[in-house]
């Protein structure tokens, strides 16, 4: 039997000071061009927490607004703040930076993170009131320390400063004297990822109502590597985050595949459940500090706010078929193989039409495609175009080449089967997954039949191969509990029968 999509959570973390101090565009600029105009102008273009909460794409990410709301609100959103927007939504929340630092400190198991006393006391009041912060988590919060001690560790021991409102409020220490894989910078990056992943797990428990002990396995699919110099990507961010989230019955492991990792991870999780190995598997990811402000130079140059100011996180629960929740079709996944070729048409063929052909479906039989859902508000000013739209056009263009669509239908296709992107440019975060919350809702209420989630990854960035990568999977309205091999819809079966009848008739004609 196919596994099902039981629920998903989505979280954002407002990270303006992390953007300035940890984003690679900024850290690189400080090395190459320390007195640059960009660095001096940048602080003026940072958004406040309220701005970030009032930003429509962020409200879509946490499920308070829908992709349709986004489409109805024009083509830019930074200039249209929502009134009365709430930091909490049906899928998760937007966490302010100060509370997140406390969560990061709670996630530190090696006494590497400390916060300043006054800051810590102030944040703790709000942290304690957070609806998902329990005794277990509060017990991991350390007391704040004197600012003098913090400055000493930052200045003399190469610790990374933790900044809030441009003030030093804490440190992350290095975990080894000479191992660069345990440097303060790497520990900061990994703890930020672990903490945002943990936050997503906490929300997933709430969204799905699953008991913590029922989660048997967690797969982390973020883009960070944890380990020391003998195993730089040794891993298990999954188990580290599961521990803090209190999932005591879970083991786990990490899957890394650049931005495509989340789609790979869901395929793995679905197979683990469909095979009967586990009943409940969670796919989760935290955010990336490195990518904060990645296109900041272009945003500042165009006098726009620096909108890559949030880290993203998500968690998805995949469970044994309950006869109701949308099914993940394990037998009909798409994959870009080593020999697929790197041209865009080869990639789209491998990811989209190969699995559809296997099911006997046409391109238009997928109601909604969710490829990389980057928010165009961020990418267009940076010269990267509208990534989801380009993907929809590629799918439609392939449809034209295959004779399934007319060239004049391309725009209509992208509107009907596509969506406008709302995810922050956090690499793995936009990769198809952000639609899963809505996909489940739409299928449960019968509005759509099936959706294809497409993850793509730029393997060449790691300099090990020039290959591109991608995988895809189909989520489909539950057809009642049926064997996995049977998971195609009735009209598909009819079409397959009709097709074979035609072929039979044709072959008889030839004879």
Partner 1 sequence: MENQKRVKDFADQYGPEHVVVIIGAAEGEAAGLAAETVTAGDPTFAGPLTGVSLGLCVYHICEDAVKNEVDDDVYDEQVSMMEMVLDVDEIVREMDAIRSQYCKY
Partner 2 sequence: MGKFDGKKVVIIGDRDGIPGPAIEECMKTTGADVVFSSTECFV
* Contact mark string toward partner 2, 274..303, x via CB under 8 A: ---------------------x--------
Residue number, 425 or 451, with CB nearest to partner 2: 425
Helix-helix angle 184-208:97-106, to 10 degrees: 100
Which part of the chain contacts partner 2 (CB under 8 A), choosing from 328-336, 424-432, 433-441, 500-508? 424-432
Residues 317-346 within binding reach of partner 2 (CB under 8 A): 341-344
Tokens standing for 77? 């959103």
SS3 7: strand
| Half-sphere exposure at residue 316, Cβ-oriented, CA atoms within 13 angstroms | 31
Q: Within positions 313 to 372, which residues make up the interface with partner 1, using CB under 8 A?
A: 343-346, 348
Q: How many residues bind partner 1 (CB under 8 A)?
A: 23
Q: 17: which strand partners? A: none
CB distance 157 to 74 below 8 Å: no
401 binds partner 1 (CB under 8 A): yes
Q: Which of 33, 275, 337, 465 binds partner 1 (CB under 8 A)?
A: 33
Nearest CB to partner 1, comparing residues 167 and 301 = 301
Binding track over 275-304 against partner 1, x by CB under 8 A: ----------------------x-------
**What size, in residues, is the chain?**
511
Q: Among 73, 138, 271, 384, which residue sits at the site for partner 2 (rule: CB under 8 A)?
A: 384
Q: Which is nearer to partner 1, 230 or 408 (CB)?
A: 408
Under DSSP, the state recorded for 159 is P
Distance CA 503, CA 240 (A): 55
Q: Which is nearer to partner 2, 11 or 259 (CB)?
A: 259
- SS3 of 11, please? strand
First-to-final CA distance of the chain: 41
And the tokens for 173?
Answer: 């220490």
CB of 376 to partner 1, least distance (A): 11
Tokens in use for 320?
């044994």
8 Å CB contact between 215 and 243 = no
| Contact region with partner 1 (CB under 8 A), list: 75-83, 248-256, 387-395, 426-434 | 387-395
Number of CB atoms found within 10 A of residue 50's CB: 13
**Alpha helical stretches, state H, 90-158:** 97-106, 117-129, 135-138, 147-156
Please tell me whether residue 32 binds partner 1 under the rule CB under 8 A. Answer: yes
Query: Residue numbers of the site for partner 1 (CB under 8 A)?
Result: 29, 32-33, 36, 297, 343-346, 348, 383-385, 390, 393-394, 396-398, 400-401, 407, 410
Query: Residue numbers of the site for partner 2 (CB under 8 A)?
Result: 259, 295, 341-344, 372, 374, 379, 382-385, 387, 390, 425, 427, 430, 458, 460-461, 466, 468
């Amino acid at each position: 039997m196919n596994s099902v999509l039981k629920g998903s959570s989505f979280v954002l973390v407002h990270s303006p000071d992390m953007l300035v101090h940890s984003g690679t565009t900024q850290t690189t600029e400080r090395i190459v061009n320390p007195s640059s105009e960009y660095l001096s102008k940048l602080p003026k273009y940072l958004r406040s927490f309220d701005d970030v909460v009032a930003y429509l794409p962020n409200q879509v990410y946490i499920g308070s607004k829908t992709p349709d709301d986004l489409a109805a609100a024009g083509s830019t959103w930074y200039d249209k703040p929502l009134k009365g927007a709430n930091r909490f939504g049906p899928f998760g929340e937007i966490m302010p930076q100060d509370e997140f630092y406390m969560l990061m400190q709670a996630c530190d198991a090696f006494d590497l993170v400390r916060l300043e006393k006054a800051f810590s006391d102030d944040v703790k009041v709000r942290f304690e009131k957070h609806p998902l912060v329990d005794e277990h988590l509060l017990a991991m919060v350390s007391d704040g320390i004197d600012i003098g001690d913090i400055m000493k560790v930052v200045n003399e021991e190469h610790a990374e400063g933790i900044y809030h409102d441009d003030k030093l409020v804490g440190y992350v220490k290095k975990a080894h004297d000479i191992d660069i894989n345990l440097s303060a910078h790497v520990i900061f990056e990994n703890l930020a990822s672990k903490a945002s992943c943990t936050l997503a797990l906490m929300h997933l428990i709430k969204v799905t109502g699953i008991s913590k002990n029922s989660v048997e396995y967690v797969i982390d699919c973020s883009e960070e590597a944890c380990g020391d110099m003998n195993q730089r990507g040794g891993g298990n961010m999954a188990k580290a985050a599961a521990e803090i989230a209190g999932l005591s019955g879970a083991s786990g492991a990490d899957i890394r595949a650049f931005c495509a990792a989340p789609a790979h991870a869901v395929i793995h999780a679905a197979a683990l459940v469909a095979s009967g190995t586990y009943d409940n598997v969670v796919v989760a990811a935290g955010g990336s500090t490195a990518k904060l402000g990645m296109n900041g130079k272009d945003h500042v140059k165009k006098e726009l706010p620096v909108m890559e100011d949030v880290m993203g996180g998500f968690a998805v629960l995949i469970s044994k078929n309950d006869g109701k929740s949308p099914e993940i079709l394990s037998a009909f996944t798409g994959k870009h193989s080593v020999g697929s070729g790197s041209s865009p048409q080869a990639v789209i063929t491998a990811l989209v039409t190969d699995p559809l052909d296997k099911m006997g479906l046409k391109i238009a039989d997928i109601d909604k495609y969710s490829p990389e859902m980057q928010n165009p508000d961020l990418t267009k000013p940076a010269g990267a175009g509208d990534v989801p739209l380009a993907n929809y056009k590629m799918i439609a263009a392939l449809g034209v080449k295959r004779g399934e669509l007319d060239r004049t239908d391309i725009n209509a296709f992208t509107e009907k089967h596509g969506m406008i992107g709302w995810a922050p440019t956090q690499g793995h975060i936009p990769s198809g997954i952000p639609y899963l919350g809505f996909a489940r809702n739409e299928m449960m209420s019968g509005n759509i039949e099936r959706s294809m989630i497409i993850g793509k990854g730029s393997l060449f960035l790691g300099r090990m191969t020039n290959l591109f990568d991608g995988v895809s999977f189909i989520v489909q309205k539950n057809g009642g509990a049926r064997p996995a091999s049977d998971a195609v819809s009735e009209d598909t079966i009819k079409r397959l029968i009709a097709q074979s009848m035609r072929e039979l008739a044709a072959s008889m004609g030839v004879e």
